[in-house]
């Protein structure tokens, strides 16, 4: 039986989770606010009639994120988490300022490249793992994941209002201010990081070839491929069901918020009762059911809304559990490296989902997108069913 002191998060863990979640939320809110309004505004800028440049301006962030996640993760293992996080946030601030002052679309591309070069996700999640005990790590990762989801939901409502009030340039200024606020939180609020591991380093290739980590890396690629592919087809489906584009938040926001509430029991069962693999497999199964449901169901508004709720539920559970499992399985001196690889495959999943979803929708129809995602979910389910998770070291204190 677990003692009450070990079964509850201590004050340091609560502060670490809440403060690091706020760092993610402040940074991601700035990014999300751009997405709903960028394309219409770009047409007013010199060079904005070049749709290739407009698309690259949106995608450049993800490209540089993918390139820098592993170097940042390795650097955080060697030089400490906080210095790497602060450096990345400073680059993000610089990119925001360049984009805010951009006279044309080309300079916005430069700003977005700089923003993406501040690839701190691996270092932040590694620090969250450092500051929490294993039996509470999924809760902290859930706090971080939920903050990102809430930032996304808020951006859907706030972006049009902010754009009308301060324009796109003002939104870029706001992203810089939010990132600067994140630096303050990292330095003044987040608890002190543990000492850097010394001694023998685990080679990157050993981390890449680790069979359990490889399953999780494939999983995050599959998860975000399905997510992006879904967003290629769902907005059009909602419009076809009679919901104007400007009112899509009325479906997204309730679905996101409800999924956060519904995921809590699953996280409790996974951590408190040692059912990590069972909950993990159940969440993947839920994603498979969603893809099959969207494939076979009609295009009515309420069925789509219901499937989206179930998708967000499975997505949020897996978003919380996977980085927690990476931090448990990875060697202690290579935690940042493992999370860097994990975040790189996540970025690749986002890219592949957009490309493959768009190609399939154009050449084979919307149903083909859901069918392909169902196949990917099935492969992931088979790989996850035999996954081994190390037992929680309940006696270990927070570092």
- 301 neighbors 243 (Cβ within 8 angstroms): yes
Task: Give the whole-angstrom CA distance, residue 131 versus residue 335.
Answer: 13
Q: State the pLDDT at residue 290.
A: 95
pLDDT > 70: what percent of the chain? 90
- Geometric angle at alpha carbon 137, from 17 and 85, rounded to 5°: 50
Would you say residue 386 has pLDDT above 90? Answer: no
Q: State the pLDDT at residue 399.
A: 39
- Geometric angle at alpha carbon 233, from 229 and 239, rounded to 5°: 155
Q: Average pLDDT, stretch 226-234?
A: 83
Q: Average pLDDT, stretch 78-98?
A: 93
Q: Average pLDDT, stretch 354-369?
A: 85
Q: State the pLDDT at residue 54.
A: 72
Task: Give the whole-angstrom CA distance, residue 58 versus residue 63.
Answer: 10
* Radius of gyration, alpha carbons of the chain: 21
Least confident of 32-41, 213-222, 315-324, 346-355: 32-41
Least confident of 12-16, 77-81, 135-139: 135-139
Q: Average pLDDT, stretch 348-355?
A: 80
Task: Give the whole-angstrom CA distance, residue 331 versus residue 126.
Answer: 12
Task: Give the whole-angstrom CA distance, residue 130 versus residue 317.
Answer: 21
- Of 308, 276, 302, 307, which Cα lies nearest the Cα of 387? 276
Task: Give the whole-angstrom CA distance, residue 245 versus residue 228.
Answer: 18
* Domains (range + CATH), the chain: 1-193 (1.20.1250.20), 203-390 (1.20.1250.20)
Q: Is 69 exposed, middle or buried (0-12, 13-18, 19+ CB in 10 A)?
A: buried
Q: State the pLDDT at residue 173.
A: 94
Would you say residue 36 has pLDDT above 80? Answer: no
- 127 neighbors 82 (Cβ within 8 angstroms): yes
| pLDDT tens per residue across span 188-225 | 999 987 776 666 677 788 888 888 899 999 999 999 88
Question: Average model confidence (pLDDT) for the chain?
Answer: 83
Is residue 183 very low, low, confident or very high in pLDDT (cuts 50, 70, 90)?
very high
Task: Give the whole-angstrom CA distance, residue 53 versus residue 50.
Answer: 5
Residues 6+ apart with CB under 8 A from 175: 30, 31, 33, 34, 92, 96, 115
Task: Give the whole-angstrom CA distance, residue 40 versus residue 34.
Answer: 11
Q: State the pLDDT at residue 349.
A: 84
Q: State the pLDDT at residue 12.
A: 87
Of residues 107 and 247, the one with the higher pLDDT is 107
Is residue 395 very low, low, confident or very high in pLDDT (cuts 50, 70, 90)?
very low
Q: State the pLDDT at residue 1.
A: 44
């Amino acid at each position: 039986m677990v003692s009450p002191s070990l079964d509850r998060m201590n004050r340091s863990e609560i502060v670490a989770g809440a403060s690091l979640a706020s760092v993610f939320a402040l940074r991601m809110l700035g990014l999300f606010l751009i997405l709903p309004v960028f394309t219409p505004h770009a047409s007013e800028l010199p060079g904005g009639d070049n749709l290739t440049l407009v698309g690259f301006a949106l995608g450049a962030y993800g490209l540089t994120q993918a390139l820098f996640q592993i170097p940042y993760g390795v650097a955080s293992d060697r030089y400490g988490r906080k210095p790497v996080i602060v450096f990345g946030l400073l680059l993000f601030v610089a990119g925001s300022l360049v984009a805010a002052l951009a006279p044309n679309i080309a300079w916005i591309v430069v700003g977005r490249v700089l923003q993406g070069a501040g690839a701190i996700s691996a270092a932040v999640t590694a620090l969250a793992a450092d500051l929490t005990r294993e039996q509470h790590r999924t809760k902290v990762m859930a706090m971080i994941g939920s903050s990102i989801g809430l930032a996304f939901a808020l951006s859907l409502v706030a972006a049009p209002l902010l754009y009308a009030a301060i324009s796109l340039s003002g939104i870029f200024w706001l992203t810089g201010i939010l990132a600067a606020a994140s630096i303050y939180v990292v330095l003044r609020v987040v608890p002190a990081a543990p000492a850097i591991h010394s001694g023998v380093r685990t080679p990157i290739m050993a981390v890449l070839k680790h069979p359990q980590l490889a399953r999780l890396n494939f999983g995050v690629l599959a998860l975000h491929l399905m997510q992006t592919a879904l967003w290629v087809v769902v907005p059009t489906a909602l419009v076809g069901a009679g919901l104007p584009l400007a009112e899509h938040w009325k479906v997204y926001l309730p679905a996101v918020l409800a999924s956060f509430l519904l995921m809590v029991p699953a996280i409790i069962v996974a951590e408190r009762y040692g059912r990590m693999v069972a909950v993990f497999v159940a969440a993947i199964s839920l994603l498979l059911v969603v893809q099959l449901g969207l494939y076979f169901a009609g295009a009515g508004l309420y069925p789509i809304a219901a499937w989206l709720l179930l998708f967000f539920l499975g997505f949020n559970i897996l978003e919380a559990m996977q980085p927690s499992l990476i931090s448990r399985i990875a060697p202690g001196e290579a935690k940042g490296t493992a999370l860097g690889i994990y975040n790189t495959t996540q970025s690749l999943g986002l890219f592949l989902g957009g490309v493959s979803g768009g190609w399939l929708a154009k050449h084979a129809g919307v149903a083909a997108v859901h069918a392909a995602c169902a196949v990917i979910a099935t492969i992931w389910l088979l790989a996850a069913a035999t996954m081994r998770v190390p037992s929680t070291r309940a006696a270990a204190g927070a570092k």
